[in-house]
């Protein structure tokens, strides 16, 4: 070990005494420091402390390494390199012991010479690991203020020589007040890389969809900390952690290895998605080194291969190396949508154009999005045909617009709607009727019946005969129709004359058997059945609201939405905006018998 250490030191000294002109490695072509132009650039820590550094040394990869030993070998295998400075505090000091500012610029210049020679070019990317006290609030102590000033001096000096410094930042940075000014000054001369580490077991147990969503959100928040203060995404990067020391974030004993490989894959996919979405410049990886026994994990080489394969299958053959331990599905949990879709839920699309059309009614995109989401959720439980929608539309026109389609269209126009929007709302109502009919609710109490009888004493009621049996007669062919649930035409029909009534949920032949009277004119014994029908209908309304809210919440677990922006859990009755499209009375208890809505 002593002889090996001596040889390493000798090689490093040789590098320092070499010509200041950067030496290009024999196998490299072009500028060794020119990184891929396609963003994000993926950069992986892979110096000599990574036993399997060769995994990262191949065309298409960029490895972060130090000294004069491994960078040339990495480049000789076709990869690009950036310099990784593991001794940043030696150059600037710390918040409690800042360096003398008069020596910081000289240290930066000497370090630039060393790093540029190690990288074989004059404009190397240099990662500075890492800023101390990023969370520190302002006003800063004298020591911290000097330390921050030193960091800025150092980065400016590197940039002035042609280097491209990248400042690594752990923890949630404080960006208020003068701290925000300092971060913006840093961004003028360097890129900023947020380290985003988390315990793998905590995310794995969320499942593929929610786990992927959680990772993406962490990456977005990390970038937004700086974007929110005016730093452009092109100056930002994120660093992923694959360390295995307990308590450091990373694997955290996640077993078996297949679970860690799955999380490794999901991290890579999430990073690619967010980097493209936000416009981040770089994605870094960390944790492959084995400086301590806790980091000597035998699964690391395979995890590294999985990470490379997940972002580009050409970089490593993870399926062959990991075998059955690797789930090769690269689509599960990812933000992949059919054309025109904003979300997918229960296998159904929530389309952008549908939400946009609803927003014409709501004049607010958020409730419109929620309404479109509710529609997709409910559609999983009840099918409504086009013919049923058209029949219901005819009923609406006949009931509210005296059969005039022109008047109907004019009303829609006044309410910022179209026939297409209206048919969507009609479908919602018919779907609700079908679902409500399947919901079980308890019957009202004697007290509730009496209270209704007293409260709605002036409600219209009429004895009728109907064919087929109607839900507003408690699925009977004869009985008292109550104004709260029966179609309003029932109470204006001529006594003893049969008439055909077209309603949104079906066509009925109705024959009045008595005059229209007030509810109070009926003895309570005779009024009991229609009152129960009305109260059960109201109970089903409430039951449906609760049912839909529960289904919306459950569906969010597996829902995939653009940029993970999920809708609110709510019921948005679009008939509040187009009241003449509400189901005719009795629809809340509509029958589920097939064919009725096809009549």
The pLDDT confidence band at residue 31, using thresholds 50, 70 and 90, is confident
Mean pLDDT confidence for 500-509? 92
Average pLDDT (582-596) is 43
**Tokens encoding 396:** 């609406």
Q: Is the pLDDT of residue 58 over 80?
A: yes
What pLDDT does residue 179 have?
97
pLDDT score for 584: 61
Residues 340, 341, 346, 348, Cα dihedral to 10°: -20
Say whether pLDDT at 376 is over 50. Answer: yes
pLDDT-above-70 percentage for the chain:
92
pLDDT of residue 14: 31
Residues 6+ away with beta carbon under 8 Å from 8: 67, 69
> Which of these ranges, 34-38, 82-86, 106-110, has the smallest mean pLDDT?
34-38
Please give the helix or strand (H or E) that residue 80 lies within, else none. Answer: strand 80-85
Q: Token digits for 248? A: 């450091």
Rg of the chain taking only CA atoms, in angstroms: 35
Tens digit of pLDDT for each residue in 18-30?
323 333 333 344 6
**Checking phi first, is residue 171 left (phi over 0); if not, alpha (psi -120 to 50) or beta?**
left
pLDDT digits (tens, 9 = 90+) for 303-333: 999 999 999 999 999 999 999 999 999 999 9
Q: 302, 267, 299: which is closest to 283 by C-alpha?
A: 267
Per-residue pLDDT averaged across 499-509, rounded? Answer: 92
SS3 category, 298: coil
Virtual torsion, Cα 108, 111, 115, 120, nearest 10 deg? 90
Predicted confidence at residue 505, as pLDDT, reads 86
What is the reported pLDDT for 2? 30
Is the pLDDT at 5 greater than 80? The verdict is no
Is the pLDDT reported for residue 11 higher than 70?
no
pLDDT score, position 592: 33
Half-sphere exposure of 438 (CA within 13 A, CB side): 9
Q: Where are the beta strands (DSSP E) in 170-275?
A: 191-196, 236-241
What is the per-residue pLDDT for 22? 37
Report the relative pairing of strands 506-512 and 460-470 from DSSP bridges: antiparallel
CA distance 462 to 411: 32
E strand map for 161-300: 164-169, 191-196, 236-241, 282-286
Percent of the chain past pLDDT 90, that is, above it, reads: 90
Q: What is the pLDDT of residue 32?
A: 81
- Tell me the average pLDDT across 558-575: 97
pLDDT(599) > 60 = no
Tokens of residue 336, six digits? 């992949």
| Residue 254 pLDDT class (50, 70, 90 cuts) | very high
- Partners of residue 481 on adjacent β-strands: 462
C-alpha to C-alpha distances, 147 to 136, 169, 422, nearest whole angstrom = 12, 15, 64
What pLDDT, in 10s, does the model give residues 427-465?
999 999 999 999 999 999 999 999 999 999 999 999 999
Q: What distance in Å separates the CA atoms of residue 356 and residue 400, rounded to the nearest whole number?
A: 27
CATH 3.20.20 fits 33-325, yes or no: yes
Name the 3-class secondary structure at 162.
coil
Find the helix or strand (DSSP H, E) in which 429 lies.
helix 419-438
Mean pLDDT of all residues in 259-274: 98
> Quick one: tokens of 542?
């409430």
Q: Which pTM does this prediction carry?
A: 0.86
Residue 33 pLDDT: 82
Distance, C-alpha 387 to centroid of its chain: 36
**Cα–Cα distance measured from residue 556 to residue 554, given in angstroms and rounded to the nearest whole number:** 5
Average per-residue pLDDT for the chain: 91
Q: Enumerate the domain spans of the chain.
A: 33-325, 337-599
- Residue 41's H or E segment, with its range, is strand 41-45
Report the distance separating Cα 23 and Cα 116, nearest Å. Answer: 9
Residue-wise pLDDT tens digits, 126-153: 999 999 999 999 999 999 999 999 999 9
**pLDDT, position 583:** 86
pLDDT tens sequence across 390-435: 999 999 999 999 999 999 999 999 999 999 999 999 999 999 999 9
User: What mean pLDDT do residues 1-12 have?
Assistant: 31
What is the per-residue pLDDT for 30? 66
């Amino acid at each position: 070990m002593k002889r090996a250490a001596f040889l390493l030191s000798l090689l490093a000294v040789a590098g320092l005494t070499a010509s200041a002109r950067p030496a290009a490695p024999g196998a490299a072509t072009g500028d060794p420091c020119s990184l891929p132009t396609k963003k994000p650039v993926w950069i992986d820590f892979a110096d000599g402390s990574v036993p399997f550094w060769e995994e990262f040394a191949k065309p298409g990869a960029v490895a972060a390494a130090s000294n004069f030993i491994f960078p040339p070998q990495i480049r000789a295998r076709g990869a690009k390199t950036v310099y990784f400075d593991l001794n940043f505090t030696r150059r600037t000091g710390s918040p409690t012991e800042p360096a003398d500012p008069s020596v910081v610029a000289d240290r930066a210049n000497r370090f630039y010479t060393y790093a540029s020679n190690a990288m074989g070019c004059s404009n190397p990317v240099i990662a500075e690991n890492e800023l101390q006290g990023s969370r520190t609030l302002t006003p800063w102590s004298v020591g911290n203020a000097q330390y921050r000033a030193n960091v800025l001096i150092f980065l400016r000096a590197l940039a002035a020589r042609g280097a491209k410094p990248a400042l690594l930042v752990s923890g949630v940075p404080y960006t208020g007040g003068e701290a925000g000014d300092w971060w913006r000054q840093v961004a003028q001369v360097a890129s900023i890389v947020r380290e985003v580490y988390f315990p793998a077991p905590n995310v794995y147990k969320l499942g593929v969809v929610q786990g992927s969503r959680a990772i993406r959100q962490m990456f977005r928040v990390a970038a937004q900390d700086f974007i929110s203060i005016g730093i452009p995404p092109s100056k930002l990067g994120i660093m992923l952690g694959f360390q295995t020391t307990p308590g450091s974030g990373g694997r955290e004993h996640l077993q078996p290895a297949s679970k860690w490989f799955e999380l490794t894959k999901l991290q890579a996919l999430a990073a690619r998605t967010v980097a493209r979405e936000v416009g981040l410049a770089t994605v870094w990886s960390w944790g492959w080194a084995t400086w301590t026994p806790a980091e000597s994990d035998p699964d690391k080489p395979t995890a590294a291969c999985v990470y490379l394969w997940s972002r580009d299958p050409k970089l490593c053959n993870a399926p062959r190396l990991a075998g059955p331990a690797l789930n090769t599905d690269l689509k599960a949990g990812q933000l992949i949508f059919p054309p025109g879709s904003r979300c997918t839920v229960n296998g159904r699309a929530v389309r952008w154009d549908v939400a946009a059309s609803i927003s014409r009614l709501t004049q607010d995109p958020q409730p419109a999005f929620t309404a479109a989401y509710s529609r997709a959720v409910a559609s999983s439980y009840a099918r409504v045909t086009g013919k049923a929608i058209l029949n219901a539309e005819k009923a609406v026109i006949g009931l509210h617009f005296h059969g005039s389609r022109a008047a109907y269209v004019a009303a829609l126009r006044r309410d910022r709607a179209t026939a297409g929007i209206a048919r969507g709302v009609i479908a919602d109502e018919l779907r609700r009727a079908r679902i409500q009919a399947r919901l079980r609710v308890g019957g009202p109490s004697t007290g509730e019946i009496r209270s209704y009888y007293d409260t709605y004493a002036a409600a219209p009621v009429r004895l009728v005969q109907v064919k087929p049996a109607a839900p507003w007669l408690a699925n009977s062919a004869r009985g008292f129709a109550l104004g709260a649930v029966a179609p309003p035409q029932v109470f204006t029909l001529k006594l003893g004359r049969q008439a055909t009534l077209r309603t949104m949920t079906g066509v009925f032949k109705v024959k009045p058997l008595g005059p229209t009277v007030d509810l109070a004119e009926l003895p309570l014994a005779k009024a009991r059945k229609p009152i129960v029908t009305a109260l059960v209908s109201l109970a089903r309304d409430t039951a449906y609201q609760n049912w839909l809210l529960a289904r919306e919440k459950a569906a969010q677990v597996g829902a995939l939405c653009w940029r993970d922006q999920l809708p609110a859990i709510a019921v948005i009755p679009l008939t509040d905006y187009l009241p003449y499209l509400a189901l005719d009375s009795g629809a809340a208890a509509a029958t589920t018998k097939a064919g009725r809505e096809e009549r």
